[in-house]
């Protein structure tokens, strides 16, 4: 797949993220895809820190930091003000983590999407509250250790399917993307940019610190999530039309789990349970996309 991407950077060299931070990679590509006519609403998340403390900033675009649970609402207000000022060119983007999206910000997001506010909501998903020190969120996958799901209390619940929740709102556009597939990611950002109304991007953004993997594995682990079907790449238009963007090789999930410190406690039988869940989810997605295994 060929994409056009500007040589320009909208991040200055240097940020305050951990080595190998998937969220920083995600930001770089999204900014390149959108360009400078944008404003970003940033509820509390890793990026509240990554962007740098006052008076520094790694971002070359206007940013308004906001309270944790207000990503959808603050963006609605920014959009309304721009509309009143006659500025229809500037794109409003909310940039939130999984905690700010799946959990505490879910109400404001749902409200904004129900109103079909004209903005792009990006959730970069590192599957836990990483900024506060690896606490479980409703995006944390089944089987994971976190500091609030330690020892035998590893998470026994499934990861919330946020794209399906958004699709149920009949959102004009919702898609998954991964830092391991930048062409697909950039194409989706640009596609979202061309659509009016609420648009949602769910970006898989690995966290070497929280997942307990070497930082040089950041992109590879994300690729493995896609190729095992743990994180399929697909898009949904108007909550109805599903397109699967990549047919994965369907590697067994085992290898993905074995190399991450956060899953070290899992036994073979646990991995079998997880494999079954992943297969089930994939079959369901195929059915929604009108395809068959």
Residues 6+ apart with CB under 8 A from 78: 39, 41, 64, 92, 119
Residue 130 CB, shortest distance to other proteins, in Å, is 16
The single residue among 64, 217, 244, 259 that binds other proteins, judged by CB under 8 A, is 64
The C-alpha atoms of residue 281 and residue 275 are separated, in whole angstroms, by 10
Residue 200 CB, shortest distance to other proteins, in Å, is 17
Q: What are phi and psi of 120, to 5 degrees?
A: -105, 125
Handedness of CA 148, 206, 14, 68 (dihedral sign): negative
Residue 152 CB, shortest distance to other proteins, in Å, is 35
90 binds other proteins (CB under 8 A): yes
Helix (H, G, I), strand (E, B) or coil at 247: coil
Residue 109 CB, shortest distance to other proteins, in Å, is 10
The C-alpha atoms of residue 130 and residue 133 are separated, in whole angstroms, by 5
Identity of the residue, 31 or 163, whose beta carbon is nearer to other proteins in the bound complex? 31
The C-alpha atoms of residue 99 and residue 46 are separated, in whole angstroms, by 10
198 binds other proteins (CB under 8 A): no
8 binds other proteins (CB under 8 A): no
216 binds other proteins (CB under 8 A): no
Of 138-197, which residues contact other proteins (CB under 8 A)?
none
Cβ–Cβ under 8 Å, residues 71 and 79? no
* Other CB atoms within 10 A of residue 28 CB: 16
Interface mask toward other proteins for 95-124; x: CB under 8 A:
------------xx-xx--xx---------
* Count of residues interacting with other proteins (CB under 8 A): 44
* Strands 234-237, 173-178: pairing kind: antiparallel
Identity of the residue, 48 or 228, whose beta carbon is nearer to other proteins in the bound complex? 48
Identity of the residue, 110 or 245, whose beta carbon is nearer to other proteins in the bound complex? 110
Segment contacting other proteins (CB under 8 A): 54-62, 146-154, 158-166, 234-242? 54-62
Write out the two tokens for 47.
Answer: 């990026």
Residues that bind other proteins (CB under 8 A): 36-39, 41, 48-49, 51-54, 57, 59-67, 69-70, 72-85, 90, 107-108, 110-111, 114-115
């Amino acid at each position: 797949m060929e994409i056009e991407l500007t040589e320009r950077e909208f991040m200055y060299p240097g940020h305050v993220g951990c080595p190998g931070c998937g969220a920083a990679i995600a930001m770089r590509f999204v900014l390149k895809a959108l360009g400078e006519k944008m404003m970003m609403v940033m509820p509390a998340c890793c990026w509240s820190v990554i962007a740098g403390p006052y008076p520094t900033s790694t971002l070359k675009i206007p940013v308004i930091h906001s309270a944790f649970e207000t990503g959808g609402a603050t963006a609605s207000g920014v959009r309304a003000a721009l509309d009143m000022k006659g500025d229809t060119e500037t794109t409003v983007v909310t940039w939130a983590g999984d905690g700010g999206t799946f959990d505490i910000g879910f109400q404001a997001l749902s409200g904004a999407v129900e109103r079909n506010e004209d903005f792009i909501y990006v959730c970069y998903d590192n599957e836990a509250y990483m900024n506060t020190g690896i606490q479980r969120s409703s995006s944390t996958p089944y089987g994971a250790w976190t500091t609030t799901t330690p020892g035998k209390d590893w998470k026994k619940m499934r990861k919330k399917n946020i794209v399906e929740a958004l699709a149920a709102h009949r959102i004009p556009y919702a898609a998954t993307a991964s830092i391991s597939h930048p062409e697909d990611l950039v194409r989706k950002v640009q596609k979202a940019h061309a659509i009016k109304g609420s648009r949602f991007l769910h970006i898989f953004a690995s966290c070497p610190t929280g997942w307990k993997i070497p930082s040089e594995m950041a992109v590879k682990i994300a690729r493995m999530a896609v190729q095992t079907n743990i994180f399929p790449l697909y898009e949904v238009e108007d909550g109805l039309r599903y397109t699967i963007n990549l047919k994965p090789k369907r590697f067994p999930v085992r290898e993905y789990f074995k190399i991450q410190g956060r899953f070290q406690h899992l036994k073979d039988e646990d991995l079998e349970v997880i494999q079954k869940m992943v297969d089930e989810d994939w079959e369901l997605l195929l059915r929604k996309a009108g395809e068959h295994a």
